A and B are shown apart, each in its own frame.
Chain A
Amino acid sequence: MNNTVLDAHNLKRVYDENTIPVYALNGVHLHIVRGEFTAIKGPSGSGKTTLLNMIGGLDEPTEGYVNINGTNITQLKGNKLINFRLNNIGFVFQSFNLIPVLTAKENIEFIMLLQKRPKAEREQRVKELLKEVGLADKAGKKPGELSGGQQQRVAVARALAPKPQFILADEPTANLDSVSAGNLLDMMAKLNREENMTFIFSTHDQRVIDRARRVITLEDGKIVNDTAPASLDHTLI
C-alpha cells in the first residue's frame, strides 16, 4: 500500500531572476508519508515558509513540482487549486486565523459549508471536533472571547474538519505561552497517534522540535539535515 501523502521534487524558488538571483529554495526534495509528525526548522530566511507555501499550494515553484496524494498541484490553477486546498490540506497559521465574527462552532462548520456538506453531517463533525480539541464548552464563543491557545485549538479543529491529507502548521506555537503551547502540542500529538493524522510544522520553537519524530533542517534554501529514519515510519516519541 502506498502511504505517500506528499512528494516534493527538486523545488526551487528564485527571486529577482533577471538581476541577482536569490534562491529561497534551491533543490529541495521531500517525501512525507501518512502519519508523520514532521518539524521543519531553520533560521529566519532559510526557506521554511516558502517551502510550506509551496506544499500548501499558495506559491508556485520556479522549478520542480509538488505531488499530493497523486495530484501534481503545481499544474493546478484558480478554483481547481482552491478546491484542492479545501479538500486536501488543513492550514493552521501563526495567529489571527479565525473569522472574528463567527463563533468557534461556526468557524469549524464554515469550512465544511464551503465543501457543501449536509447540515446534519456538519453539526455531528463540529461536535466531535470540539470534543476532540477539548473545547466542547466553548462552542458559542467568538475568537475574541477565547485565549490564544484556545483559538489555536479551534484552528486545528477547523483544519481537521474537511478530513485533509495533512495539516500544515506555520509557527503554530509562536504566539502562545508555554502551558498553552504544551497543551496544543499534546492535542496534535494525540490526533497524530490516534487518527494517524499527518502534521507538518514550520517552527523555531524547540518545544515543537522536541516533540517531532522527524526534523528537517533548512539552510539557505537547502535541506542540510533530515532525521528521517530509513523506514520513513515517523511516529511520535
Chain B
Amino acid sequence: MIAKLTWRNLWRNPRRTLITMTSVTFAVLLAILMQSFQKGVFDNLVKNVVSFYHGYIQVHKKGYWDEQVLDNSFQYDDSLVMKLSRNPEIKVLTPRIETFLLASVGNSTKGCMLVGTDPVKENLLTGLKDKIVKGRYFTDNEAAVLIAEGLAGRLKLTVQDTIILLGQGYHGAMAAGKYPVRGIIHFGSPALNDGLLYMPLAQAQFFLSAENMLTSLAVGIREPEKMTAIQQLLLSEMGKEYEVMNWKELMPDIANHIKADGSSFYIFTGVLYLIIAFGIFGTILMMTAERRYEFGMLVAIGMKKLSLGKILLFETLLITLLGVITGLLISLPFVLYFSRNPLRITGEIAEAYERFGFEALFPAAVDNSILIVQSLIVLIIAFLIGLYPLWHVGRINPMLAMKK
C-alpha cells in the first residue's frame, strides 16, 4: 500500500509532476549530450595529436626524454619487439632514430630534426603517406628523404632536389651525406611543419653510424582507454633500463589544455545541476506546503514521522527516476547518431582546425559511464533534496499543522 500511496501521490497534481519530470529529463539529456560531445571531441583531439607524431606511448632508453641525444639510444631488440607485437592491444610498434642536424641547399642552411623510421610502420602509426602533398612516399631501404613543407619552403627546394645533411652521429662520429627529396609532407602543427625530415630507418642508422640503434619505439594502441594499462604492461616487460611514457607525459601542454577545458565543462554542468536542484526543490517545497494539513492528520492518527518521511523521499526519488529514465531513453539515440555522424563544422573555424591538422569534426562519444554517472548525479541530487520533507515532517506538530 505504501508503494501505491507513493505512486498515487505523484499523480495528485499531474501537471506539476510532469513539469518536474520534464525538467529532469531535459537536464539529463543536456548533461549526457554535453559530456558525450566533450569526450568525443577530446578523444578526437587526442587521436589527432598522437597521430601527428608521438603515438599514444613511447619507449626510450632511460633518461632520453630529458637529454635527447643519440648517445642515449638503445639497441633494437628484435625478439622483444616481436614479443610486444603479439599483444593484441598493441596496433603497431614503430622504431625510430631521431636527431637534430643541419640541412643545407645551396647557400641556405637550416636546423631540423631527422627521423629515421620504418616507412610501413610509420604510416600505420601516423598516416605519414597521407600527409604527402608533393612527390611520393619513400620505400623501405631507399636512400632518400621526405621533407616537411615549411622546411622545404625555407630551404627553397622541391621534389627531386638534393639536400645535404650535416651533423653528429653516434658516439661523436661525423655524419654527412646528400639525399634526393622524394616527397614533401604537410603537418598541421607549425613546429613539425618547419622542422621535420624523414628517412628510412636503415639509411638513417647508417648515416648516423648507429647501426641497429633506436631512440624511440612509438606505440600505437587499439583502444585509447587502455593506454595506462598497456603502459604498465610495457614497463614491466621492458625492464628498468627503459622509460615508457604516454602522450600526456610526452605532451603535457596538450594534456593541460584538455584538463583546463574539462574544468570549464564541470562549471557549466555544475550550473546545470544547480538549476535541476532548484527545480526539484521548488516542487518539493510546494508539495510539502500544500500537504501540511494532511501530514499533521497522518501523524495525529498514528503514522510515525519516519514512515511518512520515507514516503515523501520515495516520491521525490520516483519523480526524478522517471525523469532520468526518460532522459536516458531520449539521449541514447542522439548520442548514437552523433557518434556515427559527427557534427561537421564549416567556414573559417573549420579552416583553422584543418590548418593545424585537426579534423573539423565534433563527434559524440558512446560511453556507458557517462550515462550512469549523469543519472546517478541527478538521483543523488534528488535524494539530498528528498531529505528536506524528511526534516520537515520530523519537526511537524500535528496540532499546529492541522490549524486552518
Residues of A within 8 A of B (CB): 53, 56, 58-59, 79, 82-83, 85-87, 91, 93, 96-97, 99-102, 106, 109-111, 113-115, 158-159, 162
State how many angstroms separate the Cβ of B21 from the closest Cβ of chain A. Answer: 18
- Nearest CB on B from A139, distance (A): 15
Residue B294 contacts which of A59, A79, A87, A99 (CB distance < 8 angstroms)?
Answer: A99
Check if B304 sits within 8 Å of A82, measured CB to CB.
Answer: yes
Task: Using known A-B contacts A58-B398, A93-B402, A96-B293, determine if residue A102 contacts B303 with beta carbons closer than 8 Å.
Answer: no
In the complex, chain A residues whose CB is within 8 Å of the CB of B399? 53, 58-59
Residue B39 interfacial (CB < 8 Å) = no
Q: How far is the CA of A86 from the CA of B300 in the complex (A)?
A: 8
Most buried by B among A53, A56, A82, A109: A82
B88 within 8 A of A: no
A101 and B402 contact, CB distance less than 8 A: no
Q: Tell whether B347 is near chain A: CB-to-CB under 8 Å.
A: no
C-alpha gap A106/B307 in the complex (Å)? 17
Contact (Cβ within 8 A) B303 A114? yes
Determine the chain B residues whose CB is within 8 A of the CB of A100 once the complex forms: 12, 294
A97–B402 Cα gap in the complex (Å)?
A: 10
Q: What would 7 more interface pairs be, CB under 8 Å, given A58-B398, A101-B5, A101-B8?
A: A82-B299, A83-B302, A83-B304, A93-B402, A99-B294, A100-B294, A101-B9
**How far apart are the CA atoms of A52 and B187 in the complex, in Å?**
89
B303 contacts which chain A residues (CB < 8 A)?
82, 86, 114
Scoring B4, B9, B297, B402 by chain A CB atoms within 10 A of each residue's CB, the highest score goes to: B402
Residue of A nearest to B299 (CB): A82
A114 close to B302 (CB less than 8 A): yes
B4 / chain A contacts, CB cutoff of 8 Å: 102, 106
Mask for B288-303, Cβ within 8 A of A = 1, else 0?
Answer: 0000011001111111
Q: Which of these, A58, A79, A110, A114, contacts B300 with CB under 8 Å?
A: A58
B82 in contact (CB, < 8 A) = no
- B298 proximity list for chain A (CB < 8 A): 99
Decide yes or no: A93 and B1 within 8 Å by CB, A58-B399, A82-B302, A82-B304 being known contacts.
no
B5 to chain A: which residues have CB within 8 Å? 99, 101-102, 110
Most buried by B among A56, A87, A114: A114
Task: Check A79/B304 contact, CB under 8 A, given A93-B297, A102-B8.
Answer: yes
Q: How far is the CA of A79 from the CA of B294 in the complex (A)?
A: 18
Fill in one digit per residue for B59-93: 1 if any A CB lies within 8 Å of its CB, else 0.
00000000000000000000000000000000000
Question: In this assembly, does B305 line the interface, its C-beta being within 8 Å of a C-beta of chain A?
Answer: yes
In angstroms, how far is the closest chain B Cβ from the Cβ of A163? 13
Q: How far is the CA of A56 from the CA of B305 in the complex (A)?
A: 17
Please measure, in the bound complex, the distance between the C-alpha atom of A158 and the C-alpha atom of B297, giving whole angstroms: 13
Among B300-315, those with CB < 8 Å from A are 300-305, 307
Can you give 13 A-B contacts (C-beta < 8 A)?
Answer: A58-B398, A82-B302, A82-B305, A83-B304, A86-B301, A99-B5, A99-B294, A100-B12, A101-B5, A101-B12, A102-B1, A102-B8, A106-B4
Enumerate chain B residues within 8 angstroms of A59, measured Cβ to Cβ: 399
B12 proximity list for chain A (CB < 8 A):
100-101
Residues from chain A with a CB closer than 8 A to the CB of B402 are 93
Q: Using Cβ atoms and an 8 Å threshold, which residues of chain B touch A58?
A: 300, 398-399
Interface residues of chain B, those whose CB is within 8 Å of chain A, are 1, 4-5, 8-9, 11-12, 293-294, 297-305, 307, 398-399, 402
The CA of A177 and the CA of B398, in the complex, are separated in Å by 28
Inside 8 A of A83's CB, which chain B residues have their CB?
A: 302, 304
Contact of A111 among B8, B299, B302 (CB under 8 A): B302
Q: How far is the CA of A100 from the CA of B12 in the complex (A)?
A: 9
With a cutoff of 8 Å between Cβ atoms, the chain B residues found around residue A86 in the complex are: 301-303
Check A85 against B1 for contact (C-beta < 8 Å). Answer: no
Query: Smallest CB–CB gap between B404 and chain A, Å?
Result: 9
Q: Which residue of B lies closest to A78 (CB)?
A: B305
A97's partner among B9, B11, B297, B299 (CB-CB below 8 A) is: B297
Q: Chain B residue with minimal CB distance to A113?
A: B1
Query: Shortest CB–CB separation between residue A53 and chain B, in angstroms?
Result: 5
- Docked Cα-Cα span, A96 to B402, in Å, equals 10
Query: Contacts of B294 on A, CB cut-off 8 Å?
Result: 96, 99-100
**B297 to nearest A CB, angstroms?**
6
**Taking the nearest CB of chain A, how far is it from the CB of B2, in angstroms?**
8
Taking CB atoms, residues of chain A closer than 8 Å to B300 are 56, 58, 85, 91
CA distance A109 to B4 in the complex (A): 13
Residues of A within 8 A of B11 (CB): 101
> Which of chain B's residues have a CB closer than 8 A to the CB of A53?
399
Closest B residue to A110 by beta carbon equals: B1
Tell me the smallest distance from the CB of B4 to a CB of chain A, in Å. 8
In the assembled complex, which residues on chain B have CB atoms less than 8 Å from the CB atom of A97?
A: 297
* A91 near B301: Cβ-Cβ < 8 Å: yes
Known contacts A53-B399, A83-B302; is-contact A109 B293 (Cβ 8 Å):
no
Closest to B293 in A: A96
Contact check, A85 vs B302: say whether CB atoms are below 8 A apart. yes
Residues in chain A near residue B1, CB distance under 8 A: 102, 106, 109-110, 113
Cβ-closest 9 pairs across A and B: A86-B302, A101-B8, A58-B399, A85-B302, A59-B399, A53-B399, A91-B301, A58-B398, A114-B302
Query: Could you tell me the distance in whole angstroms from the C-beta of B292 to the nearest C-beta in chain A?
Result: 12
* In the bound complex, CA of A110 to CA of B303 (Å): 10
Does B301 lie within 8 Å of A111, measured CB to CB? Answer: yes
Chain A residues near B297 (CB, 8 Å)?
A: 91, 93, 96-97
> Which residues does chain B contribute within 8 Å of A113, judged by CB atoms?
1
Complex CA–CA separation, A82 to B12 (angstroms): 27
Nearest B residue to A52 via CB reads B399
Residue of B nearest to A142 (CB): B8
Contact B9 A162 (CB under 8 A): no
A13 to chain B, nearest CB (A): 11
